[in-house]
């Protein structure tokens, strides 16, 4: 079982590379919040969409976010690598979090990892979603991502006494400490329930 202390594990000997693996919790909001705001502004002002038209787009984007979160967590961050390089990459992206789950500077995604992943996802959505719906979809997808980041941070560092938030906290803590490979949803248990990975 991984230690629950706040000790940080060094990943790189090079100080500059090591710094890229740490991030203050406010950084994702400061980086991605303005991007989402500009995309929504463009949708409403330049493309002339109404707030009512954005409601189903928001619902779809948030749903797609929860699936993306689940797929990345289950199949990428917990990939059963066999090679030494593969195991190191899995550890670099996520294994380090399991070995030091209370490390406050590694609970939200650093820009060095988030920007390339978001660029790939953005390109994929650009192939699938026509204008003028792409920009608001991406904006609400980013909102889903930010909700995930801050729910994840709160899960590890706050009591989360509200019944719904407390259930999310328990769900994620079991992912860390039950010893069962399950419960990959952080912001929602929906896909764990539908795909039967609740570990029951």
Which tens digit of pLDDT belongs to each residue from 92-122?
888 899 988 888 888 888 888 889 989 999 9
Place of tokens 């059963």: 80
Say how many C-beta atoms besides its own lie within 10 A of residue 66's C-beta. Answer: 19
The domain total for the chain is: 1
Mean pLDDT confidence for 42-52:
96
7 in any annotated domain: no
168 in any annotated domain: yes
63 pLDDT above the threshold of 60:
yes
Q: Is the full-model pTM beyond 0.85? A: yes
Band the pLDDT of 5: cuts 50, 70, 90: very low
* Per-residue pLDDT, 3: 39
6 in any annotated domain: no
113 in any annotated domain: yes
131-149 pLDDT, tens digit per residue, is 999 999 999 999 999 999 9
Band the pLDDT of 193: cuts 50, 70, 90: very high
- 11-21 burial: b if 16+ Cβ within 10 Å, else e: beeeeeeeeeb
* Per-residue pLDDT, 6: 54
Q: List the domain range (segments joined by +) for residue 89.
A: 15-194
Please give the share of the chain, as a percent, with pLDDT higher than 90: 76
154-184 pLDDT, tens digit per residue, is 999 998 999 999 999 999 999 999 888 999 9
200 in any annotated domain: no
* Per-residue pLDDT, 4: 42
Mean pLDDT lowest among 57-66, 75-84, 109-118, 132-141: 109-118
Selection from 51-60, 78-87, 176-185 with the highest mean pLDDT? 51-60
95 in any annotated domain: yes
Say how many C-beta atoms besides its own lie within 10 A of residue 161's C-beta. Answer: 8
How far apart CA 47 and CA 131 sit, in angstroms, is: 9
46 in any annotated domain: yes
Question: For the chain, first and last CA: distance in Å?
Answer: 19
Alpha helices, DSSP H only, in the chain? 15-20, 27-41, 51-71, 84-90, 96-99, 111-128, 134-157, 163-177, 190-194
5 in any annotated domain: no
């Amino acid at each position: 079982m991984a230690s629950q202390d706040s000790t940080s594990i060094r990943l790189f000997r090079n100080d500059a590379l090591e710094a890229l693996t740490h991030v203050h919790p406010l950084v994702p909001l400061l980086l991605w919040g303005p991007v989402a705001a500009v995309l929504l502004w463009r949708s409403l002002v330049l493309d002339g969409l109404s707030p009512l038209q954005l409601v189903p787009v928001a619902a779809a984007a948030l749903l797609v976010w929860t699936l993306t979160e689940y797929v990345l967590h289950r199949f990428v961050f917990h990939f059963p690598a066999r090679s030494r390089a593969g195991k190191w990459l899995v550890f670099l992206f996520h294994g380090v979090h399991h070995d030091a789950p209370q490390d406050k500077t590694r609970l939200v995604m650093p820009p060095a990892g988030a920007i390339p992943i978001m660029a790939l996802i953005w390109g994929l959505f650009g192939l699938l979603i026509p204008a003028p719906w792409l920009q608001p979809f991406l904006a609400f997808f980013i909102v889903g991502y930010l909700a995930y980041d801050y729910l994840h941070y709160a899960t590890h560092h706050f009591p989360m006494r509200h019944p719904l938030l407390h259930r999310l906290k328990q769900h994620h803590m079991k992912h860390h400490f039950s010893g069962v490979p399950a419960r990959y949803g952080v912001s929602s248990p929906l896909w764990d329930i539908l795909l039967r990975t609740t570990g029951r």
